[in-house]
Amino acid sequence: MDRQPKRNSRVNVRRAEVMGIVQEKVRRHYQSALVESVRSSGNRLELGHTTFVLAPEFGFCTGVQRAIDIAYAARNVFPENRIFLIGDIIHNPEVNRQLAAMGVIRLPWKTMTDEYDELCEKDVVIVPAFGVPVPFMDFLTNKGVSIVDTTCGDVVKVWRRVKDFAAMGVTSIIHGKATHEETLATASRALGEDGRGKYIIIFTEEDTRALADYMMGHGCRDEFMKRFEGAMSPGFDPDRDLVKVGLANQTTMLKSETQSIQTMIRNAVVKRDGNDERYSVFDTICGATQDRQNSLFQLLDEKPDIMFVVGGYNSSNTTHLVDIAKESVPTFFIEAAACIRSLTEVECFDTRLHRIVESSFPEVMGNPDVPVKVGITAGASCPGNLVEETIFRVGMLRGDSFDSILTAAGMLPGQYQ
Ligand code: SF4
């Protein structure tokens, strides 16, 4: 493959004459007048015996909103061209389904398969909000396609950190999931301009313990290499490459976990060196992830009887919301309102088993005559209309009519679009 990029083929589709039309379409596809009304009434909706409490912050973050707007704008600016998307634009099946319905063709994101070879100069390729690894960008540039880049600015900030680490001869320790698009994109930048930078990806506290132990001179090299197989830069040597280390994280990690990991790695360096001079850290959790986690804690203070977390099952920030909520309340991670089969049965995603399971609601949900407080939040990639559908589904199963739900939210039935 020719490694020298031909030309800078990024195109800016955020043109003033396009964005007005595009944002109106995006609003129609994803916004919810009901949710906006509940938000403006203190995030509470009181029906007969059912009280809904929404987290103060949930749903689309600015990075996701921007990525969707840009993807829609690309369709508008290039109505006749083939438009491709590398993987998912964000981790929400409803949004990806809408893009597919607009004729956007999904390309695999893990490896560049034969489909990539068939791209030609007239094609448009959308880079998702998580970004893509450097070799993908080089390949697209060489192909001469028009690149529409929706990478979130907060992800780019992490890339800057790990590139700086590489330039300083510091090995990046990336706290993230080694199979997540964003982490793979970040890891490729940790190799630095000359490709000689080093990285290792850790995900769990057990990974961190194994890494910290090795840094302090304990642990078996073979076991270490086996544990981190596929999560290290090419040719990684733990005896050579863990001297100067810098921590960065996937933007959507759990704050408490990231802090504990930072402490463990720093303590390992201090124990080994007597000081922390060869340790650097940048907390790169993005503001939107942090706000949604803080908001959930506020909601949990209201002591809901059950919680719904709405979002894509492969969404990292959503999964962490589930993990927070289930510590204190029965929590159901659903992709859409249709997962709620009845007042007793629900299909939901188990974050521990990593699969969809059939589950049961607590008894209080099943009796519409008994008051229940239902908490709802949603990940940064979840549109408001899916939260709205959840409210309607639960409210109507518990005996409220469509119109009475709108009225309780301060809306006239005629206002509903
Ligand atoms: S969750 Fe954070 S990093 Fe991801 S798109 Fe939103 S703002 Fe950007």
| Active-site choice (182, 335, 388, 389) | 182
Dihedral pair phi/psi, residue 158, rounded to 5° = -65, -40
Calculate how far, in angstroms, residue 64's C-alpha sits from the geometric centre of ligand 1: 6
Ligand 1 atom nearest 67 alpha carbon: 5
| Of 284, 286, 293, best ligand 1 pocket probe by most atoms within 8 Å of the beta carbon | 286
pLDDT score of 47: 94
Dihedral pair phi/psi, residue 152, rounded to 5° = -70, 140
Per-residue model confidence as pLDDT tens digits over 342-391? 999 999 999 999 999 999 999 999 999 999 999 999 999 999 999 999 99
Can you tell me the distance from the alpha carbon of 24 to that of 121, in angstroms, rounded to the nearest whole number? 30
Instruction: Provide the residue type at 115 as one letter.
Output: E
CA angle in degrees (0–180, nearest 5) for 192-177-222: 80
Can you tell me the distance from the alpha carbon of 25 to that of 62, in angstroms, rounded to the nearest whole number? 17
Task: Fill in the DSSP letter of residue 414.
Answer: G
Task: Fill in the DSSP letter of residue 215.
Answer: H
Q: Take atom 2 of ligand 1 and give the residue whose Cα is closest.
A: 286
Ligand 1 atom nearest 63 alpha carbon: 5
Per-residue model confidence as pLDDT tens digits over 214-247? 999 998 999 999 999 999 999 999 999 999 999 9
State the pairing for strand pair 306-310/279-281. unpaired
Contacts of 16 (CB under 8 A, 6+ apart): none
Q: Take atom 4 of ligand 1 and give the residue whose Cα is closest.
A: 63
Calculate how far, in angstroms, residue 237's C-alpha sits from the geometric centre of ligand 1: 32
Any alpha helices (H) in 148-200, and if so which ranges?
153-167, 181-189
Q: CB under 8 Å, gap of 24 or more: what pairs does 272-280 form?
A: 272/215, 272/216, 272/217, 278/243, 278/244, 278/245, 279/245, 279/246, 279/247, 280/165, 280/170, 280/245, 280/246, 280/247
Output the DSSP codes for 27-50: HHHH--HHHHHHHHTTTEEE-SSE
Calculate how far, in angstroms, residue 285's C-alpha sits from the geometric centre of ligand 1: 9
Could you list the beta-strand ranges (E) of 71-170: 83-86, 104-107, 124-127, 146-149
Can you tell me the distance from the alpha carbon of 125 to that of 128, in angstroms, rounded to the nearest whole number? 10
* pLDDT confidence band for 412 (50 / 70 / 90): confident
* pLDDT confidence band for 8 (50 / 70 / 90): low
Q: Take atom 8 of ligand 1 and give the residue whose Cα is closest.
A: 63
Calculate how far, in angstroms, residue 100's C-alpha sits from the geometric centre of ligand 1: 22
| Of 155, 258, 318, best ligand 1 pocket probe by most atoms within 8 Å of the beta carbon | 155
Q: At 127, list the tokens.
A: 């880079």
Report helix, strand or coil for 110: coil
Contacts of 312 (CB under 8 A, 6+ apart): 90, 91, 92, 93, 318, 335, 379, 381, 382
Ligand 1 atom nearest 153 alpha carbon: 8
Q: Give the residue-averaged pLDDT of 130-148.
A: 96
| b/e sequence 47-80, b meaning 16+ C-beta within 10 Å | beebbbbbbbbbbbbebbbbbbbbbbbbbbbbee
pLDDT score of 1: 43
Ligand 1 binding pocket, CB closer than 6 Å? 61, 63-64, 129, 152, 154-155, 251-252, 286, 288-289, 317, 380
Calculate how far, in angstroms, residue 42's C-alpha sits from the geometric centre of ligand 1: 25
- Mean per-residue pLDDT over the chain, rounded: 95
Per-residue model confidence as pLDDT tens digits over 59-113? 999 999 999 999 999 999 999 999 999 999 999 999 999 999 999 999 999 889 8
Ligand 1 atom nearest 61 alpha carbon: 6
Residue 20 has pLDDT above 80, yes or no: yes
Chain centroid, CA 346 distance in Å? 24
Give catalytic status of residue 229 as yes or no.
no
State the pairing for strand pair 345-350/355-360. antiparallel
Dihedral pair phi/psi, residue 135, rounded to 5° = -60, -30
Per-residue model confidence as pLDDT tens digits over 288-327? 999 999 999 999 999 999 999 999 999 999 999 999 999 9
Calculate how far, in angstroms, residue 311's C-alpha sits from the geometric centre of ligand 1: 14
* pLDDT confidence band for 7 (50 / 70 / 90): low
Residue 134 has pLDDT above 60, yes or no: yes
Domains annotated on the chain, with CATH: 25-61+287-415 (3.40.1010.20), 63-152 (3.40.50.11270), 154-281 (3.40.1010.20)
Any alpha helices (H) in 216-369, and if so which ranges?
221-227, 255-273, 287-300, 316-325, 363-366
